[in-house]
Amino acid sequence: MKDQCQEGVRTFDEYEGFITLESFIANQQSLHPQSRGFFADILRRIGVASKIIQAKVRRAGLVDILGKQGQINVQGEEQMKLDILAQEVIMNTLQWLPAVAGVASEEEEDVIRLPPHPDENDTYVLLFDPLDGSSNIDANVSIGTIFSIMRRRTDSGTCAMSDFLQPGHQQIAAGYVVYGSSTMMVYSTGNGVHGFTMDPAVGEYVLSHPNMRFPDTCTCFSANDSNYADWDEPTRKFADHIRFGSDPRYQNTSSRYIGSMVVDFHRNLLYGGVYLYPADHKNKQGKLRLLYECSPLAWLAEQAGGTATTGSQPVLEVVPHELHQRVPIVIGNKQEVELYERFVREHEGS
Ligand code: AHG
Ligand code: MN
Ligand code: MN
């Protein structure tokens, strides 16, 4: 464990290898003695919210939380009961935190402005995809929660839309929780990506994957292949190159697509690979949401030695012009994302 901990962080030998999320956050906080702990509190609370959501998810099928809610959200998508439930849990758990000025969510049309805390500057805004992979819920397939934390731009008082409409490189933390064969929280505050697995026996997240990095192999190619005919030419060429070409790097690459972006991303982070949801005839701007899905995962990708592009620019440089903006995305190992960009450039030059 000692070798895997980042420089400057105590090694937790006293815990004999049992480092909980709580102790990890406390240790990180101790590196900033001037900090008042508000930011650490947000991370802790996200951990708590995810525990509540995972408890609900684990009982799906036993209690009446499967199926559709009967409402269409701002994305034009039918909401599942668990989408709403996860959203409520997140709001109930986070809204009383000092220093949080507002919350934006894939499930809410407008941002939720929280009442200003008189003694604070309410420094942060939070952005969520409360439940990613909703279409998989009823089939008991892995799903997740994605979050992003930004420092607000305006000084004080009630937050403004401009506090949320910031490019991804302005994030100060991002992460996700996967509800899979185990529950895992993965996040970064800009010092590497760290993964914590829930130990159900103690009800705590325990550091299981310190300093996660994409392995330098392209084990997985992840895309919704049924859209192939609707992709543009460089995207089709890229997919063909990996799947049918003679490049030795891709001789052992397999297609893997769950349909929960966060879980596809997580698998590719562990095994190496590339995930894409490009623009197509149905989704002219791409399908995935910049602020709740693409930006946070792109930030984690960069922290883990990978990267993400829209095809024309790095995802982290896209300046949002609206809250629920969608973008095309290709994300994962640097080599594959750069290969995609090369196909795009070559196409433009031809
Ligand atoms: P959400 O459940 O938050 O609406 O997101 C679903 C997204 C993403 O997670 C997934 O990769 C993608 O939609 C799947 O889309 P297709 O069904 O078109 O492949
Ligand atoms: Mn989603
Ligand atoms: Mn969602």
**Tens-place pLDDT, residues 262-276:** 999 999 999 999 999
How much distance in Å is there from the Cα of 262 to the middle of ligand 3?
10
Q: Which atom of ligand 1 is nearest to the CA of 136?
A: 2
Question: Bridge partners of 186?
Answer: 176, 195
Q: What is the mean pLDDT of residues 200-219?
A: 95
CA-closest residue to ligand 1 atom 14: 259
Tell me how far the alpha carbon of residue 86 lies from the centroid of ligand 3, in angstroms.
9
143 φ/ψ angles, rounded to the nearest 5 degrees: -135, 180
**pLDDT-based confidence at 65, cuts 50/70/90?**
low
133 C-alpha to center of ligand 1: Å?
Answer: 5
User: Is-contact 129 174, C-beta < 8 A?
Assistant: no
Quote the distance between the C-alpha of residue 274 and its chain's center.
15
Give me the pLDDT at residue 12, please: 46
| Confidence check: pLDDT of 67 > 80 | no
Statement: residue 4 has pLDDT above 50:
no
pLDDT band for position 14 (50/70/90)? Answer: very low
Which of the four CATH numbers 3.60.9.10, 3.40.190.10, 3.20.10.10, 3.30.540.10 does domain 12-209 have? Answer: 3.30.540.10
Q: What is the pLDDT of residues 187-208, one digit of tens each?
A: 999 999 999 999 998 899 999 9
pLDDT at 188: 97
Ligand 1 probe mutation, 222, 227, 261, 284, most atoms within 8 A of CB = 261
- Which pLDDT value is given to residue 81? 85
Q: pTM of the predicted model, to two decimals?
A: 0.93
Residues 325-338, mean pLDDT to the nearest whole number = 98
Kindly report, as residue ranges, where domains of CATH 3.40.190.80 are found in the chain. Answer: 220-349
Distance CA 100, CA 115 (A): 9
pLDDT at 3 over 60: no
Counting ligands in written order, which one lies closest to the CA of residue 263? Answer: 1
Is the pLDDT assigned to residue 15 strictly greater than 60? no
The pLDDT value recorded for residue 1 is 41
| Listed range (13-27, 130-144, 168-182, 227-241) with the worst mean pLDDT | 13-27
Residues with CB under 6 A from ligand 1: 77, 106, 129, 132-135, 224, 259-261, 287
- Confidence band, pLDDT 50/70/90 cuts, at residue 76: confident
pLDDT at 194: 96
Report the C-alpha gap between 31 and 53 in whole angstroms: 30
Among protein residues, the one whose CA lies closest to atom 16 of ligand 1? 259
Question: Which tops the pLDDT comparison, 217 or 6?
Answer: 217
238, amino acid identity = F
Ligand 1 mutation pick, 132, 143, 274, max ligand atoms within 8 A of CB: 132
Mutation pick for ligand 1 pocket among 288, 289, 329 (CB with most ligand atoms within 8 Å):
288
Q: How confident is the model at residue 63 (pLDDT cuts 50, 70, 90)?
A: low
Cα–Cα distances (Å) from 268 to 12, 222, 256, 301, in that order, read 29, 9, 9, 10
The closest ligand to the CA of 143 turns out to be 1
Q: What is the distance in A from the centroid of ligand 1 to the CA of 181?
A: 20
Report whether pLDDT(7) > 80.
no
**Residue 5: what pLDDT?**
46
Say how many Å lie between the CA of residue 145 and the centre of ligand 2: 8
Q: Which one-letter amino acid corresponds to residue 200?
A: P
Q: What is residue 223's predicted lDDT score, i.e. its pLDDT?
A: 98
Which range among 89-98, 203-212, 313-322, 323-332 shows the weakest confidence by mean pLDDT?
Answer: 89-98
When the pLDDT of each residue in the chain is averaged and rounded to a whole number, the result is 91
At 38-54, the pLDDT tens digits run: 899 999 999 999 999 99
Predicted confidence (pLDDT) per residue in 122-179, tens digit: 899 999 999 999 999 889 999 999 999 999 999 878 899 999 999 999 999 999 999 9
At 10, the pLDDT band (50, 70, 90 cuts) reads very low
Cα(99)–Cα(88) distance, rounded to whole angstroms? 20
Question: Which ligand gives the minimal distance to the CA of 86?
Answer: 3
Quick one: pLDDT at residue 350? 76
The residues of the chain that CATH labels 3.30.540.10 are 12-209
Please give the CATH number for the structural domain made up of 220-349.
Answer: 3.40.190.80
Q: Rounded distance, CA 101 to CA 95, Å?
A: 9
